[in-house]
Structure 1
Amino acid sequence: MPASPPPPSDDARQGPRHVPVMLAEVMAALAPRDGETIVDGTFGAGGYTSAILSEPGTRVIAIDRDPNAVLDGMGLVSAMQGRLTLVEDRFSNLDTVARDLGHAAVDGVVLDIGVSSMQIDEAGRGFSFRQDGPLDMRMEGRGPSAADLVNTLGEAELSRLFWTLGEERRAGALARAIVADRAAAPFLRTRDLADLCGRVIRSKPGDIHPATRAFQALRIAVNHELDELAAALLAAERILRAGGRLVVVTFHSLEDRIVKTFLADRSRRDAGGSRHAPQAELAPATFELVHRGAVAASEAEAARNPRARSAKLRAAVRTAAPARDTGTDFLGLPALAPTAGRRR
């Protein structure tokens, strides 16, 4: 009989650090069954993976671009006795990872988009505006850091980055303040940037922290997160078998818009048309939607876990139609200057 996943530790029971968001809803949509192989493209602390493996006979290919997450997950790999393979890679490569492991198709793909609670909790990673640390934000520890962007981009580029990726209304004022202050000394610590945000961006009691949107924008740019998400959706389309399930949990509007647009395009069966304008010919739908719209976390979960308050789940089932080789232009990804880290 396959080994069962180990019980959660005391730390896992007590802290939100190990609580996977919308677990019940994810499992209902993913519906893993005996003999199936599921790709968990965002392993993190292994919350979804552990739940999937609690179903007898399931196997998981888990992926994470963060080497720390992969190292921390090796205990679970050992406990699963061959049912879990954990790979350090980007989820945009999930189809290649699966094929390299001998899987021509898989039964499910689950993605939990964005930065993990573990990464935020580690001040040394530079993701948090509430804890002082190096202004880094690199999930893999490679490439330009957040400090590199803050200290080298021009005012117009910074303003566009904060407005486009952070939806920050005071983007222009923040960019001007950064350029003025860095002339005296570069921004190297998260607290320095967070303090500047606090001076520039007005907030009232109950508002989000003034640095929230700026830090989001920098993190997305540093890690090419929207491009990675778009590529991952196409990779899931390529690797899922007919009847396979795609489940994606997002945490802000930029991510959700990409997933919504992708699934709307891939599930569309009627081009409209009328007696005056003939109906356009559409490629066969590659997905069928599980829900008509996004599913939000329950009020009870949102009260328990602040990270769940902005979470949205979208799910779809793969049809037998061939994957489309369309590229990602139809998703309307924000266009940023190359120096802001956009990767093609």
Structure 2
Amino acid sequence: MDPGNLTGVSEFLLLGLSDDPELQPLIFGLFLSMYLVTVLGNLLIILAVSSDSHLHTPMYFFLANLSFVDICFTSTTIPKMLLNIQTERKVITYAGCITQMYFFLLFAGLDNYMLTVMAHDRFLAICHPLHYTVIMNPQLCRLPVLMSWVMSVLHSLLQCLMVLRLSFCTVLEIPHFFSEIKQLVQLACSDTFLNHMVMYFGAGLLGGGPLAGILYTYSKIVSTILGISSTQGKYKSFSTCASHLSVVSLFYCTSLGVYLILGVYLSSAATQNSHAGAVALVMYTVVSPMLNPFIYSLRNRDIKEALMRFFRMASIKMTSVLVVKKCP
């Protein structure tokens, strides 16, 4: 069927990672496992922070918000992918496509902003320790989180409204496992110049701005740490931001891989359905949120102790309930 204008688009086809039927059970099991680990790991971080008064600090408040965003981020793409594999259907409705794209952009933007806010928090803790408790009071902690939500909501809404104005062709195959905006725009038959301009703006707003802020804060942090005279003091200061630095490196390396390999947002000549592109997308959307809880918990004694106390209290409550039920 020759490409042509289509006025009433009802659905798109998500081609996924592979067309090989023999690989579908393996892909389903692998992604289901990674999704469950992601949700469980980030949920444990949230429970540890919320249940332990020792962790009611700005750093862990931002960490709990990041964990919540990571759960939502993976939940926008993986459940639909698993459903398509299970039902052997690759269809996503037009409304479902726009909705998925909206929430993907929303939580991707929030990931960026939350990492930036956490970098600023570490900057204040290391570079201005005497003023830290005054500056980072509960009200000011909520303000950057609220602003991150507002900016992300407005950006994703703008991008979706720009897509809604497009008319599409009869070739409605998206060569990914979710509704990626760049590929969706490339399927349009109408003029997409304004869409690309808005995407360039979004790339700078969500990518360049936060990254520049993180690089600036870490330049100040490194300068401050190098000025500390004792080796123990340098190690203690660096250890407070080592986990965040690891998460930032993982997030931006994978997102940069997506941009370079697929040309997402930054190039109109994207390499479609390539193996390298699929790996980059999986790393960006699944692996990075899955590893974040491990990065923060394995090197963090406070998180591990909070989790131990949480499980201890949960086991005591469970034992008490069982004892009460056994009593006549």
Q: TM-score range by the shorter chain?
A: under 0.3
TM-score by length of 2: 0.26
- TM-score, normalised with respect to structure 1: 0.25
Bigger radius of gyration: 2
Instruction: Judging by fraction of residues, say which structure has more strand.
Output: 1
Greater RCO (Cα-Cα under 8 Å, separation 6 or more): 2
Q: Which has the higher helix share?
A: 2
